């Protein structure tokens, strides 16, 4: 195997950095599927990027912001595909974990557990209204993180609104919401339940994760 040149590694680092910024911007907008997808696109560049950071920027443990995004948002969004991609990536690029100084395999295992927890919570959410109600004053941080993502994505609502203590949530599966295709931006309005899983976009024809923008007054075709 030939060694990559400094210029090549620097290019990988620029790619990785640009994608990290893009993923973090999507995260701030609450476009979590998009944040995950951008983060996954960064995987082929991380090895070179961290080599550059270690060697030429003298960073002892280069940070891995895009992997962090996958670990945070794949579980609440049931993106097992994303965790599987990271699994393969870590097995193929062992140097990344070594350079990071982190136990990435443990973080991946934790994310998989969290995905299981999210599935169990979701079963409760689908079971009735009000749906999630904990008698415990404090839930684990893990469950709280899942609920936060669901709430910010508009999948569940806190009742009463803004209540700091009562962790009661409800879904409004049949309420109309506005959403846009994450591939072509095509806007659609439909009951929320239509957007919970990927569906075929009528405009671009691709399988799309529709990003929920907010409530709508009525459903349009």
Residues that bind Zn ion (CB under 5 A): 181, 183-184, 186, 201, 203-204
CB of 184 to Zn ion, least distance (A): 3
For Zn ion, which is the closer residue by CB, 202 or 215? 202
Query: What are the b/e assignments for 135-151, b being 16+ CB within 10 Å?
Result: eeeeeeeebebbbebbe
Task: Choose among 65, 48, 66: nearest CA to 57.
Answer: 48
In angstroms, what is the minimal distance from the CB of 183 to Zn ion? 5
Nearer to Zn ion, 133 or 198 (CB): 198
Which uninterrupted H or E stretch holds 12? helix 6-28
Nearer residue to Zn ion within complex by CB, 59 or 184? 184
Q: What span, in angstroms and rounded, lies between the C-alpha atoms of 126 and 197? A: 14
Distance CA 134, CA 115 (A): 19
Half-sphere exposure of 77 (CA within 13 A, CB side): 29
CB of residue 178 to Zn ion, shortest distance in Å: 15
> How many other β-carbons are positioned within 10 Å of the β-carbon of residue 190?
17
Q: Which is nearer to Zn ion, 25 or 184 (CB)?
A: 184
Residues 53, 59, 62, CA angle at the centre, nearest 5°?
70
Q: Which letter does DSSP use for residue 193 in this model?
A: G
Closer to Zn ion by CB, 99 or 188: give it: 188
Minimum distance of Zn ion from residue 107's CB (angstroms): 33
Least distance in angstroms from the C-beta of 34 to Zn ion: 13
């Amino acid at each position: 195997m030939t060694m990559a040149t400094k210029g090549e590694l620097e290019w990988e680092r620029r790619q990785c950095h640009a994608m990290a910024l893009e993923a973090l911007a999507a995260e701030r907008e609450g476009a979590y599927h998009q944040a995950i997808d951008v983060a996954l696109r960064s995987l082929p560049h991380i090895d070179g990027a961290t080599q550059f950071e270690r060697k030429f920027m003298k960073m002892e443990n280069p940070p891995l912001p895009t992997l962090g995004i996958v670990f945070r948002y794949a579980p609440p969004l049931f993106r097992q595909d994303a965790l599987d991609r990271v699994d393969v990536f870590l097995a193929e690029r062992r140097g990344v974990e070594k350079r990071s100084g982190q136990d990435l395999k443990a973080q991946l295992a934790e994310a998989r557990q969290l995905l299981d927890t999210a599935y169990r919570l979701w079963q409760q959410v689908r079971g009735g209204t009000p749906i999630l109600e904990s008698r415990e004053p404090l839930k684990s941080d893990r469950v709280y993180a899942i609920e936060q993502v669901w709430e910010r994505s508009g999948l569940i609502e806190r009742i009463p609104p803004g209540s700091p203590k009562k962790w009661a949530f409800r879904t409004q599966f049949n309420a109309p919401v506005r959403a846009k295709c994450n591939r072509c931006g095509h806007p659609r309005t439909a009951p929320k339940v239509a957007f919970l899983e990927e569906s075929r976009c009528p405009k671009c024809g691709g399988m799309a994760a529709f990003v929920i923008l907010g409530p709508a007054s009525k459903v349009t075709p």
